[in-house]
Amino acid sequence: MRNSLSVIAFFFTSFLLLASCYNVPPTGIPAVSEVDTMIRQCFQTACKEWMAECHWYCDSIKGAMSLKPSLLLKLSQRSFSVHAPCTSSTTHYIDYSFSNGVIKSSLPTIDSHCHKFIESLNTDLRDLNIIKKKIYSIRGDLMNCFDKTDVRLVPIGSAANLLLNNRSDLDLVFLPSNDSKHWKDFMKQFSGNSQFRNSFLKNTYKQLRSKRVGNVDYPYFNARIPIIRLFSKRKLQVDIQFGNIEPIRSSLFVRTCVEYDERVALLIHWLTNKFLESKILKSSDNLFSRYHVNMLVIHFLQAMPYPVLPDIISLSPWLSKNNDWNNAVKVLTRQGSLYVPSNSDVPNENSVGELVIQMIDYYSQIDFRKMGIDTRGRVFEKTYNCNATFQIVDDYFDVSSTCRVQESPQFLTRLFEKLKLAVKEENYEKLFHYYTPPKKPVLTISHYSCMLILRRLFSKMSLLQPPGAVRGMTKLDKEAFRLTVDLPVIEIEASDVGSVTRRVRLESFLIGHKLRPLKNTMDSEKEGKKYLVFNPEKVEQDTLREKIAALIKREIDDGQPISWTTLSKELTFDNWDTKSIFKAILPVGIEYSSYTQTGHIIHCNFADEVLPFRHIIAEVLLNKVKNCKTVVQKGNIITNVYRNLDLELLAGEENYETEIKESGLRFKMDFSKVYWNSRLSHEHERVAGLFNNQSIVYDACCGIGPFVLPATLKKKPRRVMANDLNPESVKWLKVNVALNKIKDDRIEIHNMDAKQFIKENIANDVIRLMKEESGSEDFDENKLESEIHVVMNLPAYAVNFLPAFRGALKNFETELKEINKKWKWNVYCYLFAKSQVDVPDEWYEEEARRMCDEKTKWDKSLVVNCHNVRTVSSRKEMFCVQLEIPFEYLLADPLPEEPEVPFEPEEVEEPSSLYVCPVSFPHNDSVLYNEKRVHEIGPDLACLEWLMECGSTSVRMSDGQIITRQREMREYIPHALAEKPSMENPPAIQTGDISYEKQWPNAPYTWIVDVDASDSAIANEGFTYLRDVRRIEKLKFNFCDYFGDEGLKFLAQGRPAQTLTDLEIVLNPCITDGAVYWLLKMKALRRAHFYFLPYVAHRQGFIRQLKIALPRCNVTFPEVDTIGFGYEDAKKTKRK
Distance, CA of 1051 to CA of 1023 (rounded, Å): 7
Write down the pLDDT at residue 513: 67
Supply the CATH number for residue 193's domain: 3.30.460.10
Higher pLDDT, residue 779 or 1087 = 1087
- Indicate the range of 75-89, 771-785, 986-1000 predicted with least confidence: 75-89
- Indicate the range of 242-251, 396-405, 495-504, 733-742 predicted with least confidence: 396-405
Q: Is 727 among the domain residues?
A: yes
Give tens-digit pLDDT for 440-486. 444 444 444 444 444 444 444 456 788 888 888 888 888 888 888 88
Write down the pLDDT at residue 451: 46
Which of 222-236, 309-323, 499-513, 1062-1076 is the most confident on average?
Answer: 1062-1076
Distance, CA of 662 to CA of 577 (rounded, Å): 27
Give tens-digit pLDDT for 721-763. 999 998 999 999 999 999 999 998 899 999 999 999 999 999 9
**What percent of the chain lies above the pLDDT cut of 90?**
17
pLDDT greater than 80 at residue 712 = yes
Higher pLDDT, residue 387 or 1125 = 1125
pLDDT greater than 50 at residue 831 = yes
Write down the pLDDT at residue 979: 67
Domain boundary among 227, 244, 261: 244
Residues 878, 870: contact at Cβ < 8 Å? yes
CA distances (Å), origin 368, targets 302, 404, 441, 453: 18, 12, 37, 46
pLDDT greater than 60 at residue 1077 = yes
Mean of the per-residue pLDDT values of the chain: 76
Number of C-beta neighbours around residue 246 at 10 A: 16
Distance, CA of 1037 to CA of 951 (rounded, Å): 12
pLDDT greater than 60 at residue 352 = yes
Q: What is the domain extent for residue 150?
A: 128-244
Residue 281 shares a structural domain with residue 414: yes
Q: Is 102 among the domain residues?
A: no
Higher pLDDT, residue 460 or 316 = 316
pLDDT greater than 60 at residue 769 = yes
Distance, CA of 1117 to CA of 1092 (rounded, Å): 8
Supply the CATH number for residue 640's domain: 3.30.300.110
403-406 and 389-393 as β-strands: parallel, antiparallel, unpaired? antiparallel
Work out the average pLDDT over 134-159.
78
Write down the pLDDT at residue 493: 82
Write down the pLDDT at residue 1123: 59
Residue 273 shares a structural domain with residue 380: yes
Residue 981 shares a structural domain with residue 1096: yes
Where does the pLDDT of residue 879 fall: very low under 50, low under 70, confident under 90, or very high at 90 and above? Answer: very high
Distance, CA of 1071 to CA of 1046 (rounded, Å): 9
Closest CA to 250 of 181, 310, 201, 312: 312
Write down the pLDDT at residue 69: 37
**What percent of the chain lies above the pLDDT cut of 70?**
75
Annotate 729-776 with three-state secondary structure.
HHHHHHHHHHHCCCCHHHCEEECCCHHHHHHHHHHHHHHHHHHHHHHC
pLDDT greater than 60 at residue 567 = yes
Give 358's DSSP letter.
Answer: H
pLDDT greater than 60 at residue 435 = yes
Write down the pLDDT at residue 1059: 92
Write down the pLDDT at residue 736: 92
Residue 977 shares a structural domain with residue 1026: yes
Domain boundary among 891, 909, 944: 891
- Indicate the range of 71-75, 413-417, 500-504 predicted with least confidence: 71-75
Residue 606 shares a structural domain with residue 694: no
Write down the pLDDT at residue 646: 67
- Indicate the range of 492-506, 919-933, 1005-1019, 1122-1136 predicted with least confidence: 1122-1136
Distance, CA of 308 to CA of 404 (rounded, Å): 26
Q: Is 84 among the domain residues?
A: no
pLDDT greater than 90 at residue 592 = no
- Indicate the range of 354-363, 701-710, 768-777 predicted with least confidence: 768-777
719-723 and 748-750 as β-strands: parallel, antiparallel, unpaired? parallel
Q: Is 22 among the domain residues?
A: yes
Where does the pLDDT of residue 94 fall: very low under 50, low under 70, confident under 90, or very high at 90 and above? Answer: low
pLDDT greater than 60 at residue 235 = yes
Supply the CATH number for residue 983's domain: 3.80.10.10
Residue 1093 shares a structural domain with residue 1007: yes
3-state secondary structure of 127: coil
pTM of the model as a whole? 0.44
Work out the average pLDDT over 1087-1092.
90
Q: Is 900 among the domain residues?
A: no
Residue 147 shares a structural domain with residue 224: yes
Write down the pLDDT at residue 394: 61
pLDDT greater than 90 at residue 401 = no
Work out the average pLDDT over 141-154.
77
Domain boundary among 244, 265, 280: 244
Write down the pLDDT at residue 1053: 86
Residues 356, 267: contact at Cβ < 8 Å? yes
- Indicate the range of 4-8, 111-115, 599-603, 847-851 predicted with least confidence: 4-8
Distance, CA of 150 to CA of 1008 (rounded, Å): 70
Distance, CA of 977 to CA of 1005 (rounded, Å): 9
Distance, CA of 403 to CA of 1131 (rounded, Å): 72
Residue 270 shares a structural domain with residue 320: yes
- Indicate the range of 279-283, 956-960, 1024-1028 predicted with least confidence: 279-283
Work out the average pLDDT over 811-835.
85
Residue 139 shares a structural domain with residue 195: yes
Number of C-beta neighbours around residue 920 at 10 A: 10
User: How many domains in the chain?
Assistant: 8
Q: Is 133 among the domain residues?
A: yes
Residue 586 shares a structural domain with residue 713: no
Where does the pLDDT of residue 75 fall: very low under 50, low under 70, confident under 90, or very high at 90 and above? Answer: very low
DSSP bridge partners of 173: 154, 241
Higher pLDDT, residue 997 or 813 = 813
Higher pLDDT, residue 1048 or 218 = 1048
Supply the CATH number for residue 314's domain: 1.10.1410
Distance, CA of 467 to CA of 879 (rounded, Å): 46
Distance, CA of 521 to CA of 388 (rounded, Å): 77
Distance, CA of 1046 to CA of 1066 (rounded, Å): 17
Number of C-beta neighbours around residue 678 at 10 A: 13
pLDDT greater than 80 at residue 1103 = yes
Amino acid at the residue 511: I
Q: Is 683 among the domain residues?
A: yes
Residue 1078 shares a structural domain with residue 973: yes
Q: Is 115 among the domain residues?
A: no
Where does the pLDDT of residue 322 fall: very low under 50, low under 70, confident under 90, or very high at 90 and above? Answer: low
Residues 740, 667: contact at Cβ < 8 Å? no
Write down the pLDDT at residue 628: 92
Residues 171, 155: contact at Cβ < 8 Å? yes
Supply the CATH number for residue 751's domain: 3.40.50.150
Q: Which residues contact 805 (CB under 8 A, 6 or more apart)?
A: 758, 825, 827, 856, 885, 889, 890
H helices of 822-895, in order, are: 841-856, 887-891
pLDDT greater than 80 at residue 641 = no
Which of 690-704, 835-849, 888-902, 1114-1128 is the most confident on average?
Answer: 690-704
Number of C-beta neighbours around residue 672 at 10 A: 18
pLDDT greater than 80 at residue 560 = no
Residue 541 shares a structural domain with residue 648: no
Distance, CA of 535 to CA of 537 (rounded, Å): 5
